[in-house]
Amino acid sequence: MKKGRRDPEAKGGEREEEEEQPEMKRCKTAKRRKNIKNENARKMEEEEEEAEVRNAKRKKKHAKREKGEREEREEDGGKRRVKEKAREGRRRTHTRVETSSEPETSEEDELEEESEESEVRPESLSPEELEMLKEAVYERKKLVQGLRGKPWPMKEKLVTLRESQEFVEKYEGALGKGKGRKIYAYKVMMSKKWMKFQRDFENFKTACIPWEMKIKEIESHFGSSVASYFIFLRWMYGINMILFCLTFGLVMVPEALMGRPYGTIPRKTVPRAEAASAMDFAVLWDFGGYAQYSVLFYGYYNNQRAIGWLKFRMPLSYFLVGVGTVAYSYMVVIRTMARNANESGVGDDNSFNFSWKMFTSWDYLIGNPETADNKFASITTSFKEAILEEQESCKDDNIHLTRFLRVLANFLVLCCLAGSGYLIYFVVRRSQKFALEGLETHTWWERNEVNMVMSLLGMFCPMLFDVISALENYHPRVALQWQLGRIFALFLGNLYTFIIALMDEINLKREEEKIIKFNITMWEASLYNATGSENSTALPVTFHPADVPRGPCWETMVGQEFVRLIISDTMTTYITLLIGDFLRAVLVRFLNYCWCWDLEAGFPSYSEFDVSGNVLGLIFNQGMIWMGAFYAPCLPALNVLRLHVSMYLQCWAVMCCNVPQERVFKASGSNNFYMAMLLVILFLSTLPAIYTIVTIPPSFDCGPFSGKKRMFDVIQETLESDFPAWFSKVFSYASNPGLVLPFILLMVLAIYYLQSTSKSYKEANVDLKKKLQTQNEENKRKNKLAALKAQTDLEEARAATQTAEQKNNNASLQHQHAEEEEDLGSSQRKNGRPPPSVRHQDGRPPATRAPAPRTLHPDTHRSLGYLPGGGFPQQREPRMHRVPSLQRH
Our CB check for other proteins shows the closer of 220 and 402 to be: 220
Site for other proteins (CB under 8 A): which residue of 133, 379, 412, 649?
Answer: 379
Q: Which helix (H) or strand (E) holds 658?
A: strand 658-659
- For residue 136, the Cα-to-chain-centroid distance in whole angstroms is 39
Rg (CA), the chain: 40
Q: Applying CB under 8 A, does 669 fall inside the site for other proteins? A: yes
- Burial of residue 515, with CB atoms counted within 10 A of its CB: 0-12 exposed, 13-18 middle, 19 or more buried: exposed
Output the CA angle 573-575-576, nearest 5 degrees. Answer: 65
Can residue 773 be called a binding residue for other proteins (CB under 8 A)?
Answer: no
Least distance in Å: CB of 302 to other proteins? Answer: 51
In the complex with other proteins, the residue whose CB is nearer, 369 or 724, is 369
Q: Cα separations (Å) of 416 from 410, 421, 485, 507?
A: 10, 8, 14, 29
Taking the least distance from each CB to other proteins, the nearer of 596 and 867 is: 867
Among 358-366, 406-414, 497-505, 610-618, which window interacts with other proteins (CB under 8 A)? 358-366
Write down the least CB distance from residue 765 to other proteins, Å.
Answer: 14
Instruction: Please give the residues from 811 up to 830 whose contact with other proteins meets the rule CB under 8 A.
Output: 829-830
Q: Which are the contacts of 731, defined by CB distance < 8 A and separation ≥ 6?
A: 719
Nearby residues of 175 by Cβ (< 8 Å), 6 or more positions away:
130, 133, 134, 137, 184
Beta bridge partners of 658: 607
Pick from 183, 331, 358, 418: which binds other proteins (CB under 8 A)? 358
List binders of other proteins among 690-719 (CB under 8 A). none
Closest to 570 measured CA to CA, from 494, 630, 625, 627: 625
Name the minimum Å distance from CB 152 to other proteins. 8
For residue 312, the cross-strand partners are 307
Stretch that binds other proteins, among 255-263, 543-551, 767-775, 780-788 (CB under 8 A): 780-788
Cβ neighbourhood burial of 102 (10 Å; 0-12, 13-18, 19+): exposed
Only one of the segments 380-388, 604-612, 628-636, 795-803 lies at the binding site for other proteins (rule: CB under 8 A); that segment is 380-388
Q: Does 367 bind other proteins (CB under 8 A)?
A: yes
Q: Which of 377, 464, 389 shows the shortest CA–CA distance to 663?
A: 377
Q: Which span (132-140, 352-360, 454-462, 627-635) binds other proteins, by CB under 8 A?
A: 352-360
Q: In whole angstroms, give the CA distance from residue 363 to residue 137.
A: 42
* Burial bucket for residue 532 (CB in 10 Å: 0-12, 13-18, 19+): exposed
Shortest Cβ 837–other proteins spacing (Å): 23
Reduced 3-state DSSP string for 477-514: HHHHHHHHHHHHHHHHHHHHHHHHHHHHHHHHHHHHHH
Chosen residue from 384, 477, 729, 770 binding other proteins by CB under 8 A: 384
835 touching other proteins, by CB under 8 A: no
Residues 390-449 that bind other proteins (CB under 8 A): 390-391
Select from 106, 198, 353, 826 the one that contacts other proteins (CB under 8 A). 353
Give the span between the Cα atoms of 242 and 239, in whole angstroms: 5
Residues of span 557-616 touching other proteins by CB under 8 A: none
CA dist list (Å): 789 to 98, 785, 797, 852: 37, 6, 12, 8
**Closer residue to other proteins in complex, CB, 362/518:** 362
* CA contacts within 13 A on the Cβ side of 465: 26
The verdict on 783 binding other proteins (CB under 8 A) reads yes
- With contact defined as beta carbons under 8 Å apart, do 863 and 779 qualify? yes
Q: Minimal distance in Å, beta carbon 144 to other proteins?
A: 7
Q: Is 610 in contact with 480 (CB distance < 8 Å)?
A: no
Span near other proteins by CB under 8 A; candidates 48-56, 394-402, 557-565, 662-670: 662-670
Using the rule CB under 8 A, which residue among 127, 178, 261, 369 binds other proteins?
A: 369
Q: List the interface residues with other proteins, window 128-147 (CB under 8 A).
A: 144, 147
Of 151, 724, 737, 738, the one binding other proteins (CB under 8 A) is: 151
Cβ nearer to other proteins, comparing 151 with 737: 151
Told to check if 211 binds other proteins by CB under 8 A, we report no
Task: Specify the amino acid at residue 787.
Answer: A
In the complex with other proteins, which residue's Cβ is closer, 500 or 787?
787
**Interface positions, 476-535, toward other proteins (CB under 8 A):** none
Q: Cα(461)–Cα(487) distance, rounded to whole angstroms?
A: 8
> How far apart are CB 830 and other proteins at their closest, in Å?
6
Residue number with CB closer to other proteins (45 or 169): 169
Residue of 142, 784, 840, 888 that binds other proteins (CB under 8 A): 784
Alpha carbons 502 and 394: distance in angstroms, whole number: 50
Residues 353 and 346: their CA atoms lie apart, in Å, by: 14
- Strands 658-659, 607-608: pairing is parallel
Least distance to other proteins, CB of residue 355, Å: 4
Q: Which of 185, 256, 365, 546 touches other proteins (CB under 8 A)?
A: 365
Report in angstroms the alpha-carbon separations of 628 from 253, 536, 559.
Answer: 19, 42, 6
What does DSSP assign to residue 312? B
Q: Which lies closer to other proteins via its Cβ, residue 521 or residue 779?
A: 779
Rounded Cα distance, 165 and 186, in Å: 17
Tell me the per-residue interface mask from 212 to 231 with other proteins, x by CB under 8 A, - otherwise.
----x--xx---x-------
Write out the DSSP string of 546-559.
GGS-----HHHHHH
- Please count the residues of this chain forming the interface with other proteins, following the rule CB under 8 A: 90
- What is the closest distance, in whole angstroms, from the C-beta atom of residue 373 to other proteins in the complex? 7
Nearer to other proteins, 204 or 281 (CB): 204
Q: What Å distances lie between residue 57 and 63, 64, 118, 829, CA to CA?
A: 11, 11, 15, 41
CB nearer to other proteins: pick between 300 and 665: 665
Q: Of the two residues 476 and 873, which places its CB atom closer to other proteins in the complex?
A: 873
For the chain, how many residues are written?
889
Residue 149 interacting with other proteins (CB under 8 A) = yes
| Subset of 278-297 contacting other proteins (CB under 8 A) | none
Site stretch for other proteins (CB under 8 A), options 3-11, 267-275, 724-732, 811-819: 3-11
Write out the binding residues for other proteins, residues 316-345 only, by CB under 8 A. Answer: 344
Residue pair 421/497 in contact (Cβ under 8 Å)? The answer is yes
CB 513 within 8 A of CB 234: no
Binding mask 862-881 for other proteins (x = CB under 8 A): -xx-xx-xxxxxx-------
Nearer to other proteins, 31 or 162 (CB): 162
Other beta carbons within 10 Å of 295: 19
Kindly tell me which residue out of 104, 112, 373, 504 binds other proteins, with binding defined by CB under 8 A.
373
Interacting residue with other proteins among 281, 309, 359, 603 (CB under 8 A):
359
Piece in contact with other proteins (CB under 8 A), picked from 199-207, 533-541, 555-563, 692-700: 199-207
| 148 sits near other proteins (criterion: CB under 8 A) | yes
- Out of 180, 249, 347, 540, the only residue in the binding site for other proteins (CB under 8 A) is 347
**Sites for other proteins among residues 153-172 (CB under 8 A):** 153-155, 157-158, 161-162
Site for other proteins contains 803 (CB under 8 A): no
Residue 690 burial class via C-beta count within 10 angstroms: exposed 0-12, middle 13-18, buried 19 and up: middle
Smallest separation, CB 47 to other proteins (Å): 31
Among 661, 860, 878, 882, the residue binding other proteins under the rule CB under 8 A is: 860
